[in-house]
Amino acid sequence: MAKKDKIKAEQEFLKTYSSDAFEKPSVAVDLLVFTVEDGKLKIVTVRRQEYPFKGELALPGVFVGMTESVDDAAKRGISEEAGLEDIYFEQLYAFGEIDRDPRMRVISIAYIALVPIEKIHLRTGLRSEKTELTDVDALLSSKEEVAFDHRAIIECGRERIRSKTESTSLPFNLMPEEFTLPELQKVYEILLGKKLYKANFRKKIADMISETDHMTSGDAHRPSRYYKFKG
Amino acid sequence: MAKKDKIKAEQEFLKTYSSDAFEKPSVAVDLLVFTVEDGKLKIVTVRRQEYPFKGELALPGVFVGMTESVDDAAKRGISEEAGLEDIYFEQLYAFGEIDRDPRMRVISIAYIALVPIEKIHLRTGLRSEKTELTDVDALLSSKEEVAFDHRAIIECGRERIRSKTESTSLPFNLMPEEFTLPELQKVYEILLGKKLYKANFRKKIADMISETDHMTSGDAHRPSRYYKFKG
DNA sequence: ACAATAGTGTCTGTGAGACAGTATCGA
DNA sequence: TCGATACTGTCTCACAGACACTATTGT
């Protein structure tokens, strides 16, 4: 194959579009790390210590490095901000408005992650912002100011969760290894924002679970069986 | 408000992350412009005139400029490559592997667009690549080489179309202003890849259409009523 | 025995799938 | 009249929703 041609073509290309010829946007990932705590759907947030949006809530995020894929950047961010490894995450949406960051052009690719609360160990981020757990629905129905376009990103993520809860096994990613069906139903109800009928719920998820041989004990009522997620 | 603080914070930020301090990935949009022609689902493709992947099929795409949003870049690309304005499009997915372009780091945000065939006027792109219409399912089931990771992107778009056909009114974006129900059903069958029952199909889409007062004529069989899409 | 929660049986309505039937054109 | 395609009626079956009933613990 004409290697000369190849090199020439490459040089031609780099002349019209090289690292130096054009200014480029920065690319970041923003992270929506969801969990359920105290009967509420929450996300990991940081409180901004600097302008712009100083003092406001924001999503944790990292810039995408040249030596990592976008997925890997998301994984790194989740690890740095929430101390989490090996958890479920998926790409949500790319947010690309010109002025979403007043300092510079940043295109942000948002990811959602789902974690059982037991696994979460909040960690102070690299830029020493305090990480906290914030009630998603309370935040979205409040008028609290949220940094950048992060309110819209959170709304988008909330919607994805709701939608995939109806049609996939997504909520299992919020559960510990073993769980009872009343616990699981509660999580579904939180994600969907409505009460469910016990019998119908159990029929729906019947083929996603397998039972274990032990039960709850110590409560002043009938014990509940523990189940595991079955692919 | 402490404007001084604000400026200082900004400078601090730009020091640790400025246009010059870090190399940045390039950001492009790749376009999946779908249409139905001759009973087949097709997309607008270009044939690469340069290395790498010279001679192979590729998706049309443009780099995202600093003065346009990512959505606007997609709109511009659709206009430049297919001569189309005011058509339906939506973001598909961001592809961010490190080596998806062997020349340089490019993160690509893929968009799908749907156009009735009557509107398509293929236009030679800026880098004078020939644009053509390619049968999607034939391409995907063939072993033909496709440039970059574009085969995976096309698969992803094909899947999005199939999925949204089942649950939304997406296919109407492929129809002209007025259409008959047999025509509409044909399009659904192409998108879903299977035959549908007439009566069931009509029940399903009944509330998305409104009838007009005219019919087909000239065919050697019963005429068919024209309908319009109704929100 | 009772409060409290776990778990099951079943009726009903809705909607998809399957198929048979009727309607209306040109030749 | 016939071939061809448009259009409609209706049976069935799977499944979600709603609700009533039974089961098992601690106090």
Per run of 10 residues, the mean pLDDT along chain B (length 231 residues) is 51 50 88 97 94 94 96 95 90 97 97 95 67 96 97 98 95 97 97 95 95 94 96 79
* Secondary structure in 3-state letters for A18-61: CCCCCCCCEEEEEEEEEEEECCEEEEEEEECCCCCCCCCEECCE
Distance in angstroms (rounded) separating the CA atoms of residues B64 and B76: 10
Q: What are the extents of the domains in chain B?
A: 26-166, 171-229
Asked if strand C comes closer than 7 Å to B198 Cβ, the answer is: yes
- Please name the residue of chain B whose CA is at the shortest distance from the CA of residue A100: B69
- Of the pLDDT bands very low, low, confident and very high (cuts 50, 70, 90), residue A186 is very high
- Residue A138's pLDDT is 98
Protein CA A204 to sugar C1' D12 (Å) = 22
Q: Which of A12, A66, A70 sits opposite B23 (nearest CB)?
A: A66
Q: Which residue has the higher pLDDT, B1 or A127?
A: A127
- Parallel/antiparallel/unpaired status of strands A209-215 and B88-95: unpaired
- Parallel/antiparallel/unpaired status of strands A225-229 and A178-180: antiparallel
Protein CA B195 to sugar C1' C14 (Å) = 23
Strand D nucleotides within a 7 Å radius of protein CB atoms: 3-10, 16-20, 23-27
Q: What is the mean pLDDT of chain A?
A: 90
Question: What average pLDDT does range A137-151 have in this prediction?
Answer: 98
Distance in angstroms (rounded) separating the CA atoms of residues B147 and B132: 15
Q: Which of B51, B67, B71 sits opposite A9 (nearest CB)?
A: B51
Distance in angstroms (rounded) separating the CA atoms of residues A30 and A7: 37
> Residue with structure tokens 């004078």?
B128
CATH topology for the B171-229 domain: Arc Repressor Mutant, subunit A (1.10.10)
- Of the pLDDT bands very low, low, confident and very high (cuts 50, 70, 90), residue A192 is very high
Asked if strand C comes closer than 7 Å to B193 Cβ, the answer is: no
Q: Do A25 and B52 touch (CB under 8 A)?
A: no
pLDDT of residue A1 exceeding 50, the answer is no
Which CATH number applies to A26-166: 3.50.50.60, 2.40.110.10, 1.10.10.10, 3.90.79.10?
A: 3.90.79.10
Which residues in window 163-182 of A are less than 7 A from strand C by Cβ? 180-182
Task: Give the contacts of A122 (CB within 8 A, at least 6 positions apart).
Answer: A44, A82, A83, A131, A132, A133
Footprint of strand D on the protein (CB under 7 A): A 196-200, 203-204, 217-223; B 180-182, 198-200, 202, 215, 219-225
- Residue B83's pLDDT is 82
Protein CA B200 to sugar C1' C15 (Å) = 10
Protein CA B221 to sugar C1' D1 (Å) = 14
- Of the pLDDT bands very low, low, confident and very high (cuts 50, 70, 90), residue A128 is low
Q: Which of B9, B50, B66 sits opposite A25 (nearest CB)?
A: B66
- Residue B82's pLDDT is 78
